[in-house]
Amino acid sequence: MPASNVLQTQVLIIGGGITGAGIARDLALRGLNCILAERYDVNAGASGANHGLLHSGARYVSNDATAAEECRQEGELLKKLAAGCIEDTGGLFVAIQGDDDNFVADFPGLCARSGIEARPLSLEEAREMEPVLSDKMVAAYQVPDASVDPFKLTLENILQARSLGSTLLRHSEVVGFEIENRRIVRTRLKNLLTDEEFLVEAEQVVNASGAWAKSVAALAGCPVNLLYSKGSLLVTHNRITQKVINRLRPSSNADILVPGGTVSILGTTSIRIEDLSAIHPTVKEIDYILEEGSAMIPALEKMRYIRAYAGVRPLLGSTTAGDDRSVSRGFALLDHRENNLTNFSTITGGKLTTYRLMAEKTADLVCQKIGTTAPCLTRTEPLPSGTGAKWTKPGLTPKLWAKHHDPDDQLLCECEMVPKSVVDSLISSIHEQNGTPDLKALGVRSRIGKGACQGTFCALRTSAYLYDTGEVKGDEGLNGIQAFISERWRGIRPLLWDTPLIQAELQEAIYCGMFGLEIKSCSTIL
């Protein structure tokens, strides 16, 4: 293999979710050089498929006091240090007629035990805060929950790590490890865009691949015991509430509604799965979430939904049966010295809210192995708010557009009002990260395709723009449209009735009826 295909670094981190991004930033702040390798794109797994909820901890007080306390501490820290990624909405816990009275009665005491402030509200107060709450509400508490933008959070962690000299490699899948003398001396990766293999030589290798931690560790012959729990969520067309709304009952389906910008997110389910290759929300799950959610907020039954998605929670293995929610939501940091590998560790499990703590513990272990004593700075250093990571927030681009725009700037996405200038800045930041600015990559980093037209119009406009700017050539743009639409489709498919169904028909009428995109490969038969 030519030398240009061998990269050197101090720490190779596998997995471009929030955990990997947090570790990269933590280590970079301690002066270490890292490569963050991601198979697809940032937040491709559970980091990109969750509620965007910054837990106060109240959710876990009854079954996992440690997790509750960690959430409380980390939530308080992040509100101070990553304020740009967080909307401090506050949250409510509400009980509905028929919910377990004992659970309701125990709640304030359990919160107090974990140091979480839970303020009892009269039903009138609660309804004044959130008029959509059900008439059948019987109890309500206010807690310090908040809403967090997981994309912005991950991107900003990566941005700072990069500014300190670390590197992000997208589309780079780990395919093997070369082991000598109880050390990983080289990691073999494959660039999924070019199919070319390359090597990374690192002193330490960290496996932060979330639900995929088991299969990555297995490549090094290390066992990681994980269970997979799929959760599906729904995005509403409008924001339904100002605060996070939790159902005050033991954790169950569809009992959290989280606002984020101009939308709200309802979920989730918890379904044990064995196979990580087919993670998509099903019609059955969506109907179930709607029925459950509307007990708390009846308006959810008739709401327009724009998207559904599913993520996989990596849960720490135990062989006991039962609801996966009772399995620990805590995290595990595994030092594979136990498996005879001195420079390999795995971090998995955990929650978005506690990502910083997970990163700190992992970085501590890595530093100890490398033999550096640099202290963790993420507990005190604010996360810088970068410019490349702000376009994911619902409602932000329309706000800026209304305030000011260059007369030469065009809207490429009209539903979410994403202009050319935003796409330009995303293109250059993707280039800086050695990425390929195709439609999918732009979709991850902006609101393109997330509005009412489901990508029908903005995909065509943005693709034409990518051709104009020379970012795509040949039929790459058409393939990009297909990939983008397929990706969006997974989230739209279970929601197709009423207006979204009409939108889907229009999309097919244009893409297939008008343009014949589905037969382009066969068109030479004529």
Partner 1 sequence: MEDIKEITCELAVVGAGMTGMAASLFAANRGIDTVQIGVASQIIFSSGLMDILGVHPVEEGKTWDDPFLALDQLMADLPDHPYARVRKNHILKSFQEVTDFLAEGGLVYQVNKGRNTRVLTSLGTLKPTYGVPLTMWNGVRGLEEKQPGLIIDIKGLRGFSALQIAETLAPEWPGLKHARISFPDMQKAQEVYTEPMARSLAVPENREKLAGLIRPLAKDVSIVGIPAILGIQNPQDVQQHLEEMIGCPIFEIPTMPPSIPGLRIKETFEMKLPEKGARLKYQNRVSQISRDKDAFLLEIGSGSPVSRVRARGVILATGRFLGKGLYADRKAIREPLLNLPVYQPGLRPEWHRFDFMDPRGHLINRAGLEIDDQFRPLDNTGKPVFDRLFAAGSILAHQDWMRMKCGSGMAMATAYAAVNSFIEATR
Tell me: does residue 101 bind partner 1 (CB under 8 A): no
From CA 514, how far away is CA 498, in angstroms rounded? 23
Q: Contacting partner 1 (CB under 8 A), which of 88, 100, 323, 498? A: 498
From CA 191, how far away is CA 163, in angstroms rounded? 23
Question: In terms of CB distance, is 272 or 284 closer to partner 1?
Answer: 284
Q: Binding pattern to partner 1, positions 254-293, x when CB under 8 A?
A: --------------------------x-xxx--x--x---
Give the angle 187-188-189 at the CA atoms, nearest 5°: 115
Q: Binding pattern to partner 1, positions 369-388, x when CB under 8 A?
A: --------------------
β-bridge mates for residue 179, sequence order: 184
> In the complex, what is the shortest distance from the CB of residue 468 to partner 1, in angstroms, rounded to a whole number?
5
DSSP H helices in 297-395: 355-370
> In the complex, what is the shortest distance from the CB of residue 50 to partner 1, in angstroms, rounded to a whole number?
22
Question: In terms of CB distance, is 299 or 478 closer to partner 1?
Answer: 478
Span of 135-143, 171-179, 343-351, 485-493 interacting with partner 1 by CB under 8 A: 485-493
Q: For the chain, first and last CA: distance in Å? A: 45
Q: Contacting partner 1 (CB under 8 A), which of 20, 293, 477, 480? A: 477
From CA 395, how far away is CA 109, in angstroms rounded? 38
Tell me: does residue 219 bind partner 1 (CB under 8 A): no
> In the complex, what is the shortest distance from the CB of residue 519 to partner 1, in angstroms, rounded to a whole number?
5
Residues 6+ apart with CB under 8 A from 488: 307, 443, 449, 454, 455
Span of 103-111, 180-188, 237-245, 458-466 interacting with partner 1 by CB under 8 A: 458-466
Span of 30-38, 133-141, 247-255, 473-481 interacting with partner 1 by CB under 8 A: 473-481
Span of 35-43, 85-93, 113-121, 504-512 interacting with partner 1 by CB under 8 A: 504-512
From CA 112, how far away is CA 94, in angstroms rounded? 17
Question: In terms of CB distance, is 3 or 526 closer to partner 1?
Answer: 526
Question: In terms of CB distance, is 319 or 523 closer to partner 1?
Answer: 523
Question: In terms of CB distance, is 185 or 502 closer to partner 1?
Answer: 502
What is the DSSP code (8-state) at residue 81?
A: H
Q: Binding pattern to partner 1, positions 390-409, x when CB under 8 A?
A: -----------------xxx
CB 35 within 8 A of CB 200: yes
Question: In terms of CB distance, is 37 or 504 closer to partner 1?
Answer: 504
CB 390 within 8 A of CB 152: yes
Enumerate residues 407-436 that contact partner 1 by CB under 8 A. 407-412
Q: Contacting partner 1 (CB under 8 A), which of 98, 120, 223, 513? A: 513
Tell me: does residue 502 bind partner 1 (CB under 8 A): yes
Span of 143-151, 252-260, 264-272, 486-494 interacting with partner 1 by CB under 8 A: 486-494
Question: In terms of CB distance, is 428 or 469 closer to partner 1?
Answer: 469
Span of 21-29, 174-182, 194-202, 487-495 interacting with partner 1 by CB under 8 A: 487-495
> In the complex, what is the shortest distance from the CB of residue 443 to partner 1, in angstroms, rounded to a whole number?
15
CB 259 within 8 A of CB 297: no
Tell me: does residue 464 bind partner 1 (CB under 8 A): yes
Tokens linked to 390? 């702000």
Tell me: does residue 237 bind partner 1 (CB under 8 A): no
From CA 275, how far away is CA 458, in angstroms rounded? 33
Tokens linked to 41? 């794109």
DSSP H helices in 4-96: 18-29, 65-81
Residues 6+ apart with CB under 8 A from 503: 452, 453, 454, 456
Q: Give the residue among 481, 497, 401, 409 at the shortest CA–CA distance from 449.
A: 481
Span of 64-72, 388-396, 424-432, 465-473 interacting with partner 1 by CB under 8 A: 465-473
From CA 504, how far away is CA 492, in angstroms rounded? 8
Q: How many CA atoms lie within 13 A of 170 on its CB side?
A: 22
Question: In terms of CB distance, is 339 or 421 closer to partner 1?
Answer: 421
β-bridge mates for residue 141, sequence order: 93, 120
Span of 152-160, 199-207, 247-255, 480-488 interacting with partner 1 by CB under 8 A: 480-488
> In the complex, what is the shortest distance from the CB of residue 438 to partner 1, in angstroms, rounded to a whole number?
14
Question: In terms of CB distance, is 124 or 408 closer to partner 1?
Answer: 408
Q: Give the residue among 328, 344, 36, 316 at the shortest CA–CA distance from 216.
A: 344
What is the DSSP code (8-state) at residue 294?
A: H
The site for partner 1, by CB under 8 A, has a size of 61
3-state DSSP call for residue 74? Answer: helix
> In the complex, what is the shortest distance from the CB of residue 465 to partner 1, in angstroms, rounded to a whole number?
7
Question: In terms of CB distance, is 34 or 459 closer to partner 1?
Answer: 459
Query: At residue 55, what are phi and psi to the nearest 5 degrees?
Result: -65, 135
Could you check whether the bond before residue 194 is cis, i.e. omega within 30 degrees of 0?
no
Task: Look at the block and give the residue holding tokens 């290759």.
Answer: 277
Question: In terms of CB distance, is 53 or 422 closer to partner 1?
Answer: 422
From CA 202, how far away is CA 34, in angstroms rounded? 9
Span of 154-162, 250-258, 441-449, 495-503 interacting with partner 1 by CB under 8 A: 495-503
From CA 185, how far away is CA 276, in angstroms rounded? 29
Q: Give the residue among 179, 170, 94 at the shortest CA–CA distance from 134.
A: 94
Give the angle 129-135-139 at the CA atoms, nearest 5°: 65
Return residues touching partner 1 (CB under 8 A). 280, 282-284, 287, 290, 407-412, 457, 460-461, 463-465, 467-468, 472-475, 477-478, 481-482, 485-486, 489-490, 493, 496-498, 501-502, 504-526
